[in-house]
């Protein structure tokens, strides 16, 4: 700012002080402060805000209620292992999908739809509250109704309770499917009784939880279950606006040998079309082709429709939320920005002070007699100064050994050297390049970055003195 105004930094800092702001020469000040400051010094200020494209598309514009149309509900099946979740999903799919269409082959794409009374229901095909909560942990809210499967012969079990808690935590209404009622030892009333302990009271007992006796084996009660799902869905008044760019969630994704990255996405609002560009997590796609759960090619997918999408740059993650952007360049740009940010975060997380600490623990236990260090700095003079200062920290017990010093960014070779030699890397005014970060993460090499030599010395000194046995 001082340069721009052709003033000396001292003059600017002094003015700031008079305005009650204590700042150093390289400190950032906010736009408001800069405006006041510049005006004080007789300048006119124009604040230019850099547009954040990501933020622009991330926030969902409110839909006009007039544009909203009813959408199918999305259902997840949960419950204890072996209570029949998979059997139930299969039975519903077979009864309502394949049978109605001669020769129709269902594809496993992670979700499917059935039609009942001319209304659609979308079933997520990965049963269990683990998948449900993993998605939720990633911010995805896809399920409108949870079907809690409880085997009538087995009753409420630990995972039944977990499923109840997960659904409740998400605020998703529960419909209980009391399964295996074909079994001679089936006791639906006992299930209902047990469920009251968890706040689920059957309607016929004066509560408000819908409970349907079913058998995935004999297919008894399946129509009732679908009927009840539609009823509960109706009360939720689920709506979306099909006439806008799509957004939704990745349900599953994999790398297909022939087709490349493939993802099943659930469109939650808007309509996804072939040719659209989208961002999903840290990946992007230009939608090359879409297939429905029957494996048929489709050109468009509206709200609550699951489709398999081809054209992703990389395999996205289940739970990634996607949104359509106007062009490929924007999609790529946002995805890359996010990928970089993620790498940085992962890098930070993978680089706790563990390594240095671990090393000093070994020193403490007498297993290690020297601390090996690699120094990388922006200029030779700094590297040399740091080297000398660190070497001076050597004690009788522990020697500080600078095994390598150099000028420039921290590279993959530095990491490999550190890994092979059990050394830490100290970077002074330099950073690891992308490759180095990746390898460091894998090799669990401790990289410590400093801008002040004194800080580097203090850290090493503190670790050494703090962890070494006191001398008597
Ligand atoms: P999941 O672990 O909850 O997905 O349970 P599965 O669908 O794998 O079913 C577990 C076992 O229960 C399998 O051997 C099924 O054949 C059986 N099973 C599922 N539903 C029924 C049912 O309605 N009646 C009977 N008798 N057995 C069932």
Q: Specify which of 103-117, 155-169, 241-255 reaches the highest per-range mean pLDDT.
A: 241-255
Q: What is the mean pLDDT of residues 415-442?
A: 85
pLDDT of residue 86: 93
Q: Answer whether 92 contacts ligand 1 (Cβ < 6 A).
A: no
DSSP code string of 50-104:
PP-HHHHHHSPPPPPGGG-EE--EEEEEEESTTSSHHHHHHHHHIIIIITTSTT-
Cα 167 to middle of ligand 1, angstroms: 22
Nearest CA to ligand 1 atom 18: 84
Q: Answer whether 179 contacts ligand 1 (Cβ < 6 A).
A: yes
Cα 293 to middle of ligand 1, angstroms: 23
Interface predicted TM-score (ipTM) over 0.85:
yes
Atom of ligand 1 nearest to the CA of 91: 20
Q: Answer whether 317 contacts ligand 1 (Cβ < 6 A).
A: no
Distance, in Å, from the CA atom of 212 to the CA atom of 148, rounded to the nearest integer, reads 10
- Segment 29-79, tens digit of pLDDT: 888 888 888 888 888 888 776 667 777 777 777 889 999 999 999 999 999
pLDDT of residue 148: 97
| Helix residue ranges, H only, 187-327 | 188-196, 222-236
Cα 181 to middle of ligand 1, angstroms: 11
- Segment 131-185, tens digit of pLDDT: 777 777 677 789 999 999 999 999 999 889 888 888 887 889 999 999 999 999 9
Q: What is the mean pLDDT of residues 395-414?
A: 84
Distance, in Å, from the CA atom of 245 to the CA atom of 258, rounded to the nearest integer, reads 29
Q: Answer whether 182 contacts ligand 1 (Cβ < 6 A).
A: yes
Q: What is the mean pLDDT of residues 200-208?
A: 95
Nearest CA to ligand 1 atom 14: 82
- Segment 250-280, tens digit of pLDDT: 999 999 888 999 999 999 999 999 999 999 9
Q: Is 394 exposed, middle or buried (0-12, 13-18, 19+ CB in 10 A)?
A: middle
Cα 215 to middle of ligand 1, angstroms: 9
Q: Answer whether 219 contacts ligand 1 (Cβ < 6 A).
A: no
Q: Answer whether 372 contacts ligand 1 (Cβ < 6 A).
A: no
Instruction: pLDDT band for 469, please (50, 70, 90 cuts).
Output: very low
Q: Answer whether 129 contacts ligand 1 (Cβ < 6 A).
A: no
pLDDT of residue 227: 97
339: number of CA atoms within 13 Å, CB side? Answer: 18
Instruction: pLDDT band for 470, please (50, 70, 90 cuts).
Output: very low
Cα 85 to middle of ligand 1, angstroms: 7
Whether the CB-CB separation of 114 and 299 falls below 8 Å is answered with no
pLDDT of residue 102: 44
Could you tell me what percent of the chain has a pLDDT over 90? 49
Atom of ligand 1 nearest to the CA of 87: 7
Distance, in Å, from the CA atom of 154 to the CA atom of 191, rounded to the nearest integer, reads 8
Q: Answer whether 124 contacts ligand 1 (Cβ < 6 A).
A: no
Cα 253 to middle of ligand 1, angstroms: 27
* Terminal Cα-to-Cα distance of the chain (whole angstroms): 56
Instruction: pLDDT band for 99, please (50, 70, 90 cuts).
Output: very low
**pLDDT above 80 (res 471):** no
pLDDT of residue 359: 62
**pLDDT above 70 (res 104):** no
Nearest CA to ligand 1 atom 24: 180
Cα 83 to middle of ligand 1, angstroms: 6
Higher pLDDT, 403 or 262: 262
By most ligand atoms within 8 Å of CB, the mutation choice from 76, 81, 83, 84 for ligand 1 is: 84
Cα 180 to middle of ligand 1, angstroms: 7
**pLDDT above 90 (res 408):** no
Instruction: pLDDT band for 351, please (50, 70, 90 cuts).
Output: very low
Distance, in Å, from the CA atom of 419 to the CA atom of 431, rounded to the nearest integer, reads 18
DSSP code string of 198-218:
TT--BGGGTSSBEEEE--TTT
Cα 155 to middle of ligand 1, angstroms: 14
Instruction: Tell me what the pLDDT averaged over the chain comes to.
Output: 86
Radius of gyration of the chain (CA): 31
**pLDDT above 80 (res 97):** no
By most ligand atoms within 8 Å of CB, the mutation choice from 79, 87, 158 for ligand 1 is: 87
Nearest CA to ligand 1 atom 9: 84
Q: What is the mean pLDDT of residues 447-463?
A: 86
């Amino acid at each position: 700012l001082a340069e721009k105004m052709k003033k000396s930094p001292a003059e600017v800092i002094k003015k700031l002080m008079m305005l009650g702001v204590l700042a150093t020469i390289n400190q950032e000040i906010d736009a408001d402060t800069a405006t006041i400051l510049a005006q004080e010094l007789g300048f006119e200020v124009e604040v230019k805000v850099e547009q954040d494209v990501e933020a622009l598309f991330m926030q969902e514009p409110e839909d006009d209620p007039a544009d909203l149309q009813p959408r199918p509900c999305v259902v997840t099946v949960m419950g204890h292992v072996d209570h029949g979740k998979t059997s139930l999903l299969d039975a519903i799919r077979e009864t309502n999908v394949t049978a109605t269409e001669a020769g129709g082959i269902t594809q496993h794409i992670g979700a499917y739809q059935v039609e009942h009374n001319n209304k659609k229901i979308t079933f997520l095909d990965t049963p269990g509250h683990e998948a449900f909560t993993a998605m939720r942990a990633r911010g995805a809210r896809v399920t409108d109704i949870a079907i809690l499967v409880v085997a009538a012969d087995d009753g409420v079990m630990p995972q039944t309770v977990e499923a109840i808690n997960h659904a409740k935590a998400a605020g998703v209404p529960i419909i209980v499917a009391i399964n295996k009622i074909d079994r001679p030892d089936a006791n639906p009333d006992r299930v209902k009784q047990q469920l009251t302990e968890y706040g689920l009271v059957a309607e016929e007992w004066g509560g408000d939880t819908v409970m349907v006796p079913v058998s995935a084996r004999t297919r008894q009660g399946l129509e009732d279950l679908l009927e009840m799902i539609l009823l509960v869905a109706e009360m939720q008044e689920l709506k979306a606006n099909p006439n806008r760019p799509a957004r939704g969630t990745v349900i599953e994704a994999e790398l297909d040998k022939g087709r490349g990255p493939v993802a099943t996405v659930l469109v939650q609002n808007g309509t996804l079309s072939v040719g659209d560009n989208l961002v999903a997590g840290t990946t992007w796609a230009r939608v090359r082709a879409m297939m429905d759960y029957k494996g048929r090619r489709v050109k468009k997918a509206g709200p609550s429709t699951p489709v398999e999408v081809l054209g992703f740059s990389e395999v996205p993650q289940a739970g990634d939320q996607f949104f359509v952007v106007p062009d490929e360049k924007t999609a790529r740009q946002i995805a890359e920005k996010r990928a970089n940010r993620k790498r940085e975060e992962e890098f930070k997380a993978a680089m706790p002070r563990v390594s240095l600490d671990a090393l000093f623990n070994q020193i403490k236990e007498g297993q290690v007699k020297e601390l090996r260090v690699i120094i990388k700095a922006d200029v030779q003079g700094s590297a040399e100064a740091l080297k000398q200062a660190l070497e001076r920290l050597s004690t009788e017990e522990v020697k500080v050994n600078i095994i390598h010093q150099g000028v420039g960014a921290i590279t993959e070779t530095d990491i490999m050297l550190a890994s092979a030699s059990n050394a830490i890397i100290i970077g002074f005014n330099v950073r690891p390049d992308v490759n180095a970060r990746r390898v460091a993460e894998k090799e669990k090499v401790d990289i410590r970055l400093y801008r002040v030599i004194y800080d580097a010395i203090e850290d090493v000194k503190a670790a050494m003195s703090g962890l070494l046995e006191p001398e008597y």
